[in-house]
Amino acid sequence: MSLLRLKPDIQQTLLKLGDPLQGPIITVNSLGDIARGNVEKQEGEVEALLKKKEIEYQSLKTIRPMRSPKNHINPVLLAMKWQDAIATNKYKSQSGLARALGLDPCRVRRIMSLLELSPEVKDIVAGLGEYLPVGFLTETKLRELVNLSSKDQLREVKAILQEASIFPISPFQP
């Protein structure tokens, strides 16, 4: 919430950096002190921070604003990607991954909990591709399925996909 203290024009400029889940350019932690500091110095401090990352702030300001996305990252693929990063010792733990991404460790745990879905459901959702339509098969909807039996998880996912006309399913399948 402290980032909302940044001047609106700085917020809009920083949004042009893209999706932090794909790999953060700057983290929330690095911006927190700037946001809580002197409003008059914010732009200079953000410019200095970006310069360390070899990004020119003034040229970033000239980029057209990003439109609101019509898709969001597939949370199952994201969880698999993060699991692989931990398994290959790129990060020692979920907490280390959260620190590196500038995310709350609880957020990382919630996404990683999707790995507890049945293998069939994970395969179906992963097979939908890297991006999913907003509001269609969300992380929250998927997390609600984790505690169901494999059979119930599969039934629920098929129903959601069938309702969205994305995954035509024969009525003869269980």
Task: Give the residue numbers spanning the domain of 115.
Answer: 71-163
Mapped onto helix, strand or coil, the DSSP state of residue 19 is coil
In this structure, the answer to whether residues 37 and 87 fall within a common structural domain is no
Low-confidence ranges of the chain (pLDDT < 50): 1, 21, 168-174
In this structure, the answer to whether residues 81 and 57 fall within a common structural domain is no
pLDDT in tens, 54-81: 777 777 666 665 555 566 889 999 999 9
Residue 70 to residues 31, 67, 137, Cα–Cα distance (Å): 27, 9, 13
pLDDT at 43: 84
Percentage of the chain lying above the pLDDT 70 cut: 76
Give a yes or no: residue 156 inside a domain.
yes
Whichever domain contains 99, its CATH number is: 1.10.10
In this structure, the answer to whether residues 7 and 58 fall within a common structural domain is yes
Domain boundary pick from 11, 43, 62 = 62
Residue 104 to residues 35, 68, 109, 151, Cα–Cα distance (Å): 18, 23, 9, 32
In this structure, the answer to whether residues 102 and 20 fall within a common structural domain is no
pLDDT at 171: 41
Rounded CA gap, 52 and 43, in Å? 14
